[in-house]
Amino acid sequence: MTDTKTDTPLVVRQIELRPLESRGYLTPVDEVWAEPKPQSFFRRHALFLLTMVVPVFLAFVYLFFIASDRYVSEARFIVRTSAGGTGLEGLASLVSTQGMSRANDETFAVNEYIMSRDAADLLIANNGLRDVLARPEADIFNRFPNFFTRDTKTKLYRQYEHMVSADIEGATGISTLEVTAFRPDDAQMMAKALLKYAEELINRLNERAHRDALRYAKSIVDDARADFTKLEGRISEWRNKSGTVDPGKESLAALEQIGKMTTELAAMEATLAQTIALTPANPSIPALRERVLSNRSAIDRLKRDVVGNDTSVANKLAMYEQFVVEREIAAKAMGAADLNYLKARQDAERQQLYLQTIVEPNLPDQYTYPRRLLYLLGVIAVCGLIFLIIRSITQIAMEHSA
C-alpha cells in the first residue's frame, strides 16, 4: 500500500459528463493531471528579506545618508586634598604637609555632580544647551526636540545623559570627562563649562567645610571662656564668704609669725629661768611670767587659726587649692581652644581641596560617532542571528506538524 502523503503532484479530477444513449445517465469519461503553480520569489524568500535585507538596508541608509557626525571633546582631571587639614601634630604634621593626596570621596562627588540635573540646568541657563542639542547639523533622531520626543525637562536631561559621560579610574583616581556634540566647538565649550562648574563645586565644599570648622572651633572657645568665667565667679563668691583672698599666703604669713613668736617665747623663757635662778625675789619675775604666758597663748591661738577647726586656714587652703587646680585646667582648655581656633582660621585661608585639570578639553578635528562600518557589521550580525533562529524554529515546527 503506497503512502498517500508522498510528494506527488496534485491530481485534479475533471469530470466530463455525457448522456447515455439509452438511459440518459451521465458518466465520467476523462481525468486531467495538473501541475502546482510556482511560488513567487518574494514569497519563497520572505523570511530572509524581512530579517536580513530590509533591516540592513535601512541601517545602511541611516548610517551613511542620515546619521549626523558627532564630535567628542575629552578632558581628564583629578581631585586632590591638602594634607595640612588632617589634624596631625608635631613631626607627623610637618611630614604630611609636604604633599597632597587623592580625595576619593570628593572625586566621586564631582563625577556625580557632572552627571546631575544641577549641571544640566547650569548649561541650559549659561551655555545654551538647548541650542547645542538642536543644531541644524543634527539628524532627525538625535536632535532635541524631535518628532517622537516631547520638549520636557526630563527628556532634555535624558538627552544630556547621552551627551556627557564622566568615569573614574579606580587605580589612579583620574576622571575622564567626554562631551559629545554635533559641532567640535560645542563639545569643547561644554567640556570647559563642566570643568568650571566642577571647580565651583569644590570651592563650595571648601567654603562650607571651613565655615563649619570655624563655627565649631569658635563654639569650643566660647564654652571654654564661659567655664573659666564661671569658675572665677565661684572663687570670688567663696572669697567673699570666707573672708580670705589667698589662704596659701595667709597660712605662710601665719607660720612665719608663729615661728617668730616661738623664738621670742624661747628667749623670754630663758630670761625667766635665769632670773629665777639668780634672783628668786626679783620683782620682775611675775611680769616676765605673764609675758611668757601671753606669748604662749598667742602662739596657740595662731596655731588654731592655721589648723584645728573648720574655719582654719588649712581647711580654706584645701578648698582654695581645689579652685586653683580647676582654674589651671580651665585656663589650659581655653588656651587650647584659642590655638585650635587660630589653626582653623589658618586652614580656612588655605584651600584644602583642589580640582587639577590634567588634560584640557580638546577641539576635535574629526568626528567620533557614528562608527558607520562597525555599526553596520553589528546590524548584519544581529539580523543574521535572528534569521537563523527563526528559520530553525520554522523547520522544527514543520517537521512536527508532518
pLDDT tens digit at each of 402 positions of the chain: 444 444 444 444 444 445 544 444 444 544 444 455 566 777 778 888 999 999 999 999 999 999 999 999 999 999 988 754 444 333 333 334 444 566 677 889 999 999 999 999 999 999 999 999 999 999 988 888 888 888 899 999 999 999 999 999 888 889 999 999 999 999 999 999 999 999 999 989 888 888 888 888 888 888 888 888 888 888 888 777 766 766 666 667 666 777 787 887 788 778 878 778 777 777 777 887 888 787 777 777 766 666 655 556 666 666 777 878 888 888 888 888 888 888 888 777 776 788 899 999 999 999 999 999 999 999 999 999 999 999 999 888 888 876
Domain, as residue range, for 254: 222-349
d(CA 327, CA 159): 66
Q: What is the pLDDT of residue 75?
A: 96
236 belongs to a structural domain: yes
Q: Provide the pairing of β-strand 175-181 with 71-82.
A: antiparallel
Q: What is the pLDDT of residue 17?
A: 47
- Asked if residue 344 and residue 255 are part of one domain, the reply reads yes
Q: What is the pLDDT of residue 175?
A: 93
- Asked if residue 262 and residue 172 are part of one domain, the reply reads no
90 belongs to a structural domain: yes
The closest of 182, 45, 184, 167 to 108, measured between CA atoms, is 167
- Asked if residue 158 and residue 229 are part of one domain, the reply reads no
- Asked if residue 361 and residue 311 are part of one domain, the reply reads no
Which DSSP helix (H) or strand (E) runs through 110? helix 104-114
Which DSSP helix (H) or strand (E) runs through 55? helix 54-61
- Asked if residue 267 and residue 172 are part of one domain, the reply reads no
d(CA 338, CA 237): 27
d(CA 402, CA 39): 21
Number of domains in the chain: 2
Cell numbers for 98, please give them. 609636604
d(CA 67, CA 64): 7
Helices within 175-312 (DSSP H only):
184-242, 247-278, 285-306
106 belongs to a structural domain: yes
234 belongs to a structural domain: yes
The closest of 97, 184, 92, 172 to 135, measured between CA atoms, is 184
Q: What is the pLDDT of residue 39?
A: 64
- Asked if residue 262 and residue 179 are part of one domain, the reply reads no
- Asked if residue 85 and residue 192 are part of one domain, the reply reads yes
- Asked if residue 228 and residue 184 are part of one domain, the reply reads no
| Direct distance between the N- and C-terminal alpha carbons of the chain, in angstroms, rounded to an integer | 19
Q: What is the pLDDT of residue 310?
A: 56
Q: CATH number for the domain including 148?
A: 3.30.1890.10
Cβ atoms < 10 Å from Cβ of 121: 15
Q: What is the pLDDT of residue 100?
A: 54
Per-residue burial over 215-230, b = 16 or more CB atoms within 10 Å of its CB, e = otherwise? eebeebbeebeebbee
79 belongs to a structural domain: yes
- Asked if residue 254 and residue 182 are part of one domain, the reply reads no
Burial of 27 (C-beta count, 10 Å sphere; 0-12/13-18/19+): exposed
- Asked if residue 229 and residue 202 are part of one domain, the reply reads no
- Asked if residue 209 and residue 168 are part of one domain, the reply reads yes
173 belongs to a structural domain: yes
- Asked if residue 171 and residue 81 are part of one domain, the reply reads yes
16 belongs to a structural domain: no
5 belongs to a structural domain: no
